[in-house]
Structure 1
Amino acid sequence: MYPTPIDRWSPVGRTLYKISLPIALGIWLLPLIAVVVTSVRSSSELMIGNYWGWPRHFGLIENYRTVLFGSPMLHYFLNSCLITIPSVTGAIALAAMAGFALATYPFKGNPAILGTFVAGNFVPIQVLMIPVRQLTLHLGLYNTVWGLILFHLSFQTGFCTLFLRNFIKELPYELIEAARIEGANEWQLFCRIILPLIAPALAALSILVFTFVWNDYFWALCLTQGDEAAPITVGVAALKGQWTTAWNLVSAGSLLAALPSVVLFFAMQKHFVAGLTFGATKG
């Protein structure tokens, strides 16, 4: 059965694997290490061209203080929170209810609706750039936080529904029938039976959607203009100057922008792994 377990490899293969793994990991982490080192590098070192050498003068406090309090970064951070939290909460809530209906109710249009959700995930987002932008202009939602919330809510709900529908479909249908026989209505069945059983899937999906929305740059650039509703991804790009760029400030801003996603992942790592492996085994 492929792949062959490591303990069955030849001694030469295991040795090469142990040698190549840290090398590949170091190469993969090299850009991140460069960003971290640049974020604590002083401006004077960048002026003299010390881009890759070890910093002789550190500007850790100065760089991060300038990014946080000498630029609108906190405003961008607040916008990202106002956009991401409602988008994730709304998408998960709508998808859980839609997934429950598609998984348990064999109504006539079930396959067609499910096919619509599946097909929507294969549409290139670049194709929708002009129509979505024009729609936000006509509705008065361009360059607003609500415009980005409604966009992410609409586009993430399809993926989340497909994801949760498949998880709910794997649950024993006898549990649903037993709850109905005992007199539970559909809302009680959904809240007290289904949601607790798919909690690991909800946690894993929440992390994925949070990462998608928080790290979005393409749609934030298309649907905003200026600083009023721009999220932190656009704010990091705004740290670049017109004539020169302080790469130490850009690097510090990039790390601050990535910090919430990293913290959330490690805080919910156990639930994320449980959600991904939920239903992978039987018995």
Structure 2
Amino acid sequence: MTAASELPQAAAPGKNVLEPSRAPRPAGSGGSRWAVQTFLAVVAVVWLFPVLYAVLGSLRDYDYTSKHGYFSFGGFTLQNYKDAWAQANFSHTMLNSAYITVPAVILTLFLSCCIAFVVARFSFKLNLFLLGLFTAANLLPPQALLIPVYRMFRAIEVPFWFSESGTLLNSYSGLIAVNVAFQTGFCAFVLSNYMKTLPRELYESAVVDGASVLRQFFQITLPLCRPPLAALATLEVTWIYNEFFWATVLLQSGDKFPVTSSLNNLRGQFFTDNNLVAAGSVVIALPTLIIFFLLQKQFVAGLTLGATKG
């Protein structure tokens, strides 16, 4: 064998010898991607169809739809929103929902932070049991606790300046307490898992500097928990704002009902204007949609926390 035969063959004209070879593209990758995109598009359309259909129905006159059908096109008007706002008394019921939602969300997040901080930063025998005890409230259906909670609230006496009924029934405070009790466990579970990922060196340095436990909680932990708190705040506002079951059970006077109960005012005894109800539903959904879009970045950041950690 000659030395010339051991040399590599000459490269073809115009081809760089040092150019790395490209891996062959997997067969069917383009078709798979197209199938996934098509599937996601179909799911999105199916999911959005009821919402878009409700919005379209809220913008149409009932006389037109009753004559031409709901799948026709035309008869657009904004009168449904004006009538729904007047008949459902949204200006009053939305204030009632604010009186319930804002304190309930603030108390839920604060108490959850306290529980999560203790569970994440202190080791003791009942650590996991304490977290499970608070989380257990989310595992029981509200219907199973209806009678015990109602009787307990009826038996607890409070000053009349605190509640007009003299008990926790028919008061904003009772409804706030129920929402806080049922939502604290979930928030504590999420926040405790996040707080466990915080570096312990921060707290060791704080202890060396003489920082107390309260100072560690308020000046170190809470500022670092802004992303998960924003995500939980978005979820809690949506859940508590849309809550209807406990409001129906614990509130007995119509002037204290939240906005979710206003749709009953749009239903007639013998006739129901579905377009009017659709307009009322859109009005009720607007506050939660606005809050979600305002906190969208924080919400997504809170959901993806820890996604890149091994």
Q: State the TM-score, normalizing by the size of structure 2.
A: 0.83
1:96-140 CA-to-partner distances (Å, cap 9, x unmatched) read 111111111223432321221233321122211121122222232
Q: Any unmatched runs of 5+ in structure 1?
A: 1-6
Instruction: State the partner residue of 2:8.
Output: none
In 2, Cα distance between the equivalents of 1:119 and 1:243?
43
Aligned to 1:67: 84
Structure-2 residue corresponding to 1:90 = 107
1:138 aligns with 2:143: no
Q: Is it true that 1:41 corresponds to 2:60 in the alignment?
A: yes
Paired AA for residue 20 in structure 1: F
1:111 aligns with 2:138: no
Residues 1:197 and 2:186 aligned together:
no
Query: 1:281 is matched with which residue?
Result: 308
Whether 2:30 is the aligned partner of 1:11: answer yes
Letter in 2 for 1:92: L
Query: In structure 1, what is the Cα distance between the partners aligned to 2:300 and 2:251?
Result: 35
RMSD: 1.9
Give the aligned partner of residue 141 of structure 2: 124
User: What SS does the corresponding residue of 1:54 show, helix, strand or coil?
Assistant: coil
Task: Map 1:241-252; keep pairs closer than 5 Å.
Answer: 241-252=268-279
> Paired residue for 2:238, among 201, 211, 214?
211
Match of 1:15, SS state, is: helix
Percent of pairs identical after alignment?
A: 40
1:81 aligns with 2:107: no
Alpha-carbon displacement from aligned partner over 1:150-198 (angstroms, at most 9, x marks no partner): 1111111121111111111111111111111111111111111111111
Higher Rg of the two aligned structures: 2
> After superposition, what is the alpha-carbon deviation per residue over 1:23-75, rounded to whole angstroms, capped at 9, x for unaligned?
332222111111001111113224436222213x2221x21111223432221
Cα distance per residue 1:190-217 (max 9 Å; x no partner): 1111111111011111111111101112
The residue type equivalent to 1:98 in the other structure is I
The answer as to 2:179 corresponding to 1:162 is no
TM-score between the two structures when normalised by the length of structure 1? 0.90
Correspondence for 2:208:
181
Are 1:87 and 1:150, in contact at CA under 8 Å, matched by a contact in 2? yes
Offset of residue 275 of structure 1: 0.9
Seen in structure 2, the aligned counterparts of structure 1 residues 136 and 178 have a Cα distance that, compared at 3 Å, is same
Are positions 1:58 and 2:85 aligned together?
Answer: no
2:138/2:183 contact within 8 Å kept? no
Identify the residue that residue 4 of structure 1 maps to in structure 2: none
Which runs of 5 or more residues in structure 2 are unaligned? 1-25, 157-166
Aligned to 1:257: 284
Alignment of structure 1 residues 227-246 onto 2, 5 Å:
227-246=254-273
| Alignment CA distance shift 1:168-1:44 (3 Å) | same
Are the equivalent residues in 2 in contact too, given 1:144–1:228 (CA < 8 A)? Answer: no
Distance 1:93 1:76 in 2: 26
DSSP 3-state at the match of 1:48: helix
Which segment is superposed worse, 203-212 or 40-49? 40-49
1:77 aligned partner, one-letter code: M
Distance in 2, Cα, partners of 1:159 & 1:32: 28
The CA distance in 2 between the partners of 1:171 and 1:249, in whole Å, is: 50
- Structure 1 residues 184, 223: closer, same or farther in 2, change over 3 A? same
Match of 2:43 in 1: 24
